Amino acid sequence: MFHRRPGRRALQATTSALVLLALQQHAAAQENPPQGDEEFIGTIQLGQSKRSVQTDTAAAKTGIDQEEIDDRQASTIAELVDSVPGVTLINGSTPTGSGINIRGFGANGTYGTDQKVAILVDDASVGSEELYRIGTQLYTDPSLYKRVDVIRGTVGSFEYGSGIVGGVIRLETKDASDFTGGVPGFKFRQTLGGHSNGKGFLTSSTLAWQPTDAVEFLANYTERQQDNQNDGDANEIANSAFDLPSLLLKGAYTFGQDSAHRLSASYTQSETSDRDVPYDSFGTTSGAFGNVDRDTANQTATVNYNYNPADNDLLDLDVVLSYANQEIEQEYIEGSSAFAPPGGFAVVNADHQYETSKLTVKNTAFLESGFLSHEIRTGIEFIRKERLDANSAPGGTDERQALFVVDQISFGSGWTFSPAMRFETSTIKGVLDAGGNAEYENDALMGGASLRYQFENGFALFASYAYTEGLPILDDLQTPAYMEQPEIANTYEFGASYDRAGLFTDSDSLALKANYYETILGDVTSYSGVTDVNLRGLELEGSYALSNGLYADLNANITESERTSATGAVTDWTNAPADSLQFALGKRFGGVADLSWEVLAVDEAERNGTTTDGYVINNLRATLTPDSGLLEGIALRLSWENVGDKQYQPLLSTRAAPGSNFKFSIARTF
């Protein structure tokens, strides 16, 4: 039992390693045609669905690649990941006043984040802490990224941080070689788009340059704009307009024998300026706080050195230095609140700044030990958070050091055992409201393990346990009891997966994964009046595809949860998502067209006597990529979201969802 101590990329196939082995066997047969009476029937082309199901791991992981990023035409990162089971959005159609909730943790309608969902951009830790009434979990544009990985739960999180109960979202920016194909030269890609609801507009320009095989540079500028949208009843959704310009600069240099050394650097920036908008960015009206002029800017910078010699399986070294900065400047609009004193409440005029500097040194080693095969990742991190002192958001510094080890051990005919450990220390310093300085030190040993068995028929069973601690944060500096009370979470998971090619025909593929989890969060300090939270859920992922282009994807999430108050009363956990099912049916026509229909069904939810209606939403999507004629090289994407103009408000959102919305984009690489 663990206990507290004081004080990367291209489109993945939808089948498992067994399928890859089968393909290799077919390829080998093609290179070495059978002799005598044997007959070579040719290479079998398997079908592909929109998204692969990661059946080869016990961790609950979902990857969203470049094709899906483009096809979904999401306005925010939140909209991009909402099709992942267990992920729920808080007002996801805008960067301001929105957030991401995973398994009942993360953003909520009061705070932009509860520190239980980690977000990384090129390994830089981004986002603020518990800012009251300001949703600041993530400001950035989907056009900057080529892949998003979502890890749900704790078991796969020890490499990325402590106190992660909901999960991890990792974003990987685009590289120049994604456009040049690794061949020296210039490539320029221009994307233009828009949508009808809110008169949305998008322009994204990318310049990629490879002067040599070993050097590459990329620059991207994206601007996305939107007026206030309308809901399904044609009512204006106030406070839903935004203008978000974003920038990405990235470069890499590969050198040394066998190109063993790689040095890369990336920089992203996004900013938005809102004028005369509600201070409560989750709401739609001025309310008691009134309106503000608000400027928000986000920057991340990462430098990564990798050393991976071809002749040494024990060495794959990454040294990553990252910096993330978020600044919020706001000023009260005089007279916008009938309740505020002259000049407005102090919290409304408070400016904020969060800076996170991090150095991570990590190595991945492959080794054989008897009948055991290891993939061991070991690393050490040095983290420094600096925060500007502001009303209702105490400033100071939070310095942390962490050591982590993750070992994936394969043995026998189908067993995989994956233990993980993280030890982290923290030192928080700041100024007390009552005067004087305060300093608190904490440390924790966290860890977990998963066990998986793969049968020869493609069926697999797995189970895992994870223990993590949320060390105290700067927000609780003024409450001494909280500064010595880490939150403790235990998560148990059980599941099964099935992955097979050639199930009904010689060229189809099926992948299914079911994951049951239970999370018990105790010693709670993040939520007022709550001491414990208990969640249980079932997540389902599935895909089926035929070589003729037909495919189907399925995602579902079912949860039960409760919270315990300081008085011992047990009630429903209000941040738990509603039960949902998402199904997509599509057809690919060679490499020329991809047509799909998606339906999202969300069940009625009752939380502590309040009922939120369920709803069914239909979305249509089409991607056209002509391979000849005048339109050759152009990618045209069309979508119709919320077909039928359904009026609804998701359970955790604080405003109604957008009504019917036609989206389009056109892109070409020159």
Residue-wise pLDDT for 140-166, tens only, equals 899 999 999 999 999 999 999 999 999
Q: φ, ψ for residue 420 (rounded to 5)?
A: -145, 150
pLDDT of residue 137: 62
In order of their start, the domains of the chain are 17-52+60-290+301-327+360-669 (2.40.170.20)
Confidence of residue 46 (pLDDT cuts 50, 70, 90): low
pLDDT of residue 318: 98
Q: Dihedral, CA atoms, 32, 36, 37, 39, nearest 10 degrees?
A: 20
Residue among 357, 358, 353, 356 at smallest CA distance from 387: 353
Confidence of residue 551 (pLDDT cuts 50, 70, 90): very high
Q: For residue 638, is pLDDT > 90? A: yes
Which percentage of the chain shows pLDDT scores above 70?
92
State the Cα–Cα distance between residues 202 and 189, nearest whole angstrom: 14
Beta bridge partners of 361: 319, 380
CA distances from 594 to 67, 458, 510 (A): 11, 29, 19
The count of other CB atoms within 10 Å of the CB of residue 622 is 16
42 token code pair = 């040719």
Q: For residue 6, is pLDDT > 70? A: no
Please compute the mean of the pLDDT values over residues 262-275 and round it to a whole number.
Answer: 95
Beta bridge partners of 149: 63, 170
Which one has a higher pLDDT value, 98 or 117? 117
Q: φ, ψ for residue 378 (rounded to 5)?
A: -120, 145
State the Cα–Cα distance between residues 469 and 453, nearest whole angstrom: 29
Average pLDDT, the chain: 90
pLDDT of residue 541: 97
- Are the C-beta atoms of residues 304 and 265 closer than 8 Å to each other? yes
- Are the C-beta atoms of residues 135 and 78 closer than 8 Å to each other? no
Environment class of 386 (CB within 10 Å of its CB; exposed 0-12, middle 13-18, buried 19+): middle
pLDDT of residue 5: 34
State the Cα–Cα distance between residues 388 and 384, nearest whole angstrom: 13
Please compute the mean of the pLDDT values over residues 385-393 and round it to a whole number.
Answer: 89
- Are the C-beta atoms of residues 612 and 604 closer than 8 Å to each other? yes
Amino acid at 546: L
Residue among 442, 466, 444 at smallest CA distance from 4: 444
Residue among 323, 321, 474, 311 at smallest CA distance from 388: 474
pLDDT of residue 42: 41
Q: What is the pLDDT of residues 171-186, one digit of tens each?
A: 999 999 999 999 999 9
pLDDT of residue 433: 85
Tokens 């859920």: give the residue: 537
Within 13 A of 453's CA, how many CA atoms are on the CB side?
A: 5
State the Cα–Cα distance between residues 139 and 271, nearest whole angstrom: 8
pLDDT of residue 25: 36
- Are the C-beta atoms of residues 358 and 383 closer than 8 Å to each other? yes
Q: For residue 620, is pLDDT > 70? A: yes
Tell whether the torsion through CA atoms of 113, 118, 119 and 120 is positive or negative: positive
Q: What is the largest CA-CA distance in the chain?
A: 95
Q: What is the pLDDT of residues 559-607, one digit of tens each?
A: 999 999 999 999 999 999 999 999 999 999 988 999 999 999 999 999 9
pTM to 2 decimals? 0.90
State the Cα–Cα distance between residues 242 and 486, nearest whole angstrom: 37
Tokens 């593929």: give the residue: 509
Rg (CA), the chain: 25
Q: φ, ψ for residue 145 (rounded to 5)?
A: -120, 150
- Total count of residues recorded for the chain: 670
- Are the C-beta atoms of residues 131 and 141 closer than 8 Å to each other? no
- Are the C-beta atoms of residues 472 and 426 closer than 8 Å to each other? yes
Could you tell me whether strands 317-332 and 117-121 are parallel, antiparallel, or unpaired per DSSP bridges? unpaired
245 token code pair = 């310009």
pLDDT of residue 134: 83
Cα angle 355, 330, 431 (rounded to 5 degrees) comes to 50
Residue among 196, 339, 174, 307 at smallest CA distance from 247: 174
State the Cα–Cα distance between residues 358 and 381, nearest whole angstrom: 7
Could you tell me whether strands 117-121 and 167-173 are parallel, antiparallel, or unpaired per DSSP bridges? parallel
3-state secondary structure of 511: strand
Residue among 85, 46, 39 at smallest CA distance from 581: 85
Q: Which of 165-169, 184-188, 277-281, 389-393 has the lowest mean pLDDT?
A: 389-393
The count of other CB atoms within 10 Å of the CB of residue 616 is 12
pLDDT of residue 639: 97
pLDDT of residue 2: 34
Q: Which of 17-26, 96-105, 295-304, 562-571 has the lowest mean pLDDT?
A: 17-26
Environment class of 185 (CB within 10 Å of its CB; exposed 0-12, middle 13-18, buried 19+): exposed
SS3 content of the chain, % helix, strand, coil (to 5): 5, 55, 40
Confidence of residue 43 (pLDDT cuts 50, 70, 90): very low
Q: What is the pLDDT of residues 422-477, one digit of tens each?
A: 999 999 999 988 888 999 999 999 999 999 999 999 999 999 999 999 999 998 99
Please compute the mean of the pLDDT values over residues 275-292 and round it to a whole number.
Answer: 91
